[in-house]
Amino acid sequence: MPYWYYDKKDLQNTPSFRDGISNETENRYRKEGARFIIDTGSKMDLGYNTVATGVVYFHRFYMFHSFRTFPRYITACCCLFLAGKVEETPKKCKDIIKVARSLLTDQKFGTFGEDPKEEVMTLERILLQTIKFDLQVEHPYGYLLKYAKCLKGDKTKLQKMVQMAWTFVNDSLCTTLCLQWEPEVIAVALMFLAGKLSKFEVVDWNGRIPKHNAWWDMFVEDITMELLEDICHQVLDLYSMQAQASGGDSPPLPSTTKLPKNEMKPPSGTPPTSVSPVAPVVIKSATPIKNGSDTKPEGAGLAAPIPVTVERPPGPAPDLRFPLYVPPPSYPAPPPRLPPPPRLPPGLVYGGVLVPPPPAPAPSPAAVPPHPPLHAPRPYYPTRPPAPPPRPYYPPP
């Protein structure tokens, strides 16, 4: 089976990076694709295992392909479509596309092409070949519940800690942790983070032996504190990011139309509102555009409109309280129609007497085909030769 875990050096040298996309932009595309799969799956009432499997397919796919070649939203729909069949919660492709259409803007949905269903079905074959038909994926959810049952302490605080750790596992799908560590390690690290934030200290646990220094030593050996803190910081970075406007679409193609100098705006390279856990503040005001060292409102660099004067014909001014009477247009009368000519019967009329047309000439005898004889002789068939005489019967001795 293929090995799906990479070092951080490999995660920074992906096909998208070699294709001219920065690591920050690629991480933003991964977050947007993962968040789109989560939103689509929750809207279609899919289970957490199906959604998590689709996100893992999504991250593994872009370790072999670039975001310029395959737009992220089509790939996300394809991953969710395949994950539904693998986890035995299948959904129709047209239903997934319908939900995606309701979640995306017209510009983002334009990457699906003229036939979105055909695009998703074609990409499914590429996805299967890319992940090498390794369809079974394990997630930290099962290990999280398994480890929590072995801990001892206040049930209320323990339940709160497990709920917080479950939320961290959901948010970790927007990172590349599934490409770095096994699900057992992720479950331990996020339970450690949830315990610190909920102030739940694990003092004792079931199956404890003297050589265990911490509760996770019973499940996963050789986990250092530096490793746990690194995983926790990668998840916490999702919440510490500032909410900014979304960047361009995928694939980031160069623009063909060139804007004037006073209308050019700097591009934004930050994730959309759906990715960040903090709601952005929308300020409704005029957008200033910098031109040189001055700040002008939009449209300040445009030329002033030219005044146009219209001369009114001489005479009293019309009363605008009542609409002006406009006579209907006059059209010339159509010419009279002539009566159709009378239809004459077949034949000629001489002096009011109808003379029938002459009869058609009889066909010549040569033109009439000869009739077959009434009593044709029967065809001759040769008779069979006479049968040989029967053999004599000789009784046995």
**Plot region of 160 (φ>0 → left; ψ -120 to 50 → alpha; else → beta):** alpha
Judged on CB neighbours under 10 Å (0-12, 13-18, 19+), 83 is buried
Instruction: Give this prediction's pTM.
Output: 0.62
Ranges 29-33, 49-53, 384-388: which has the least confidence: 384-388
Locus of tokens 């995306």: 104
- How far apart CA 76 and CA 99 sit, in angstroms, is 12
Q: Looking at residue 262, what is its pLDDT? A: 39
% of the chain exceeding 70 in pLDDT? 64
Arithmetic mean of pLDDT, 295-305: 42
- How far apart CA 192 and CA 66 sit, in angstroms, is 35
Q: How, if at all, do strands 348-350 and 294-296 pair?
A: unpaired
% of the chain exceeding 90 in pLDDT? 52
pLDDT tens by residue, 108-158 = 999 999 999 999 999 999 999 999 999 999 999 999 999 999 998 888 999
Is 99 in contact with 61 (CB distance < 8 Å)? no
Q: Looking at residue 387, what is its pLDDT? A: 77
Which domains, from first to last, does the chain contain? 8-130 (1.10.472.10), 140-240 (1.10.472.10)
DSSP-derived secondary structure letter, 151: B
Is 81 in contact with 96 (CB distance < 8 Å)? yes
Ranges 29-38, 314-323, 366-375: which has the least confidence: 314-323
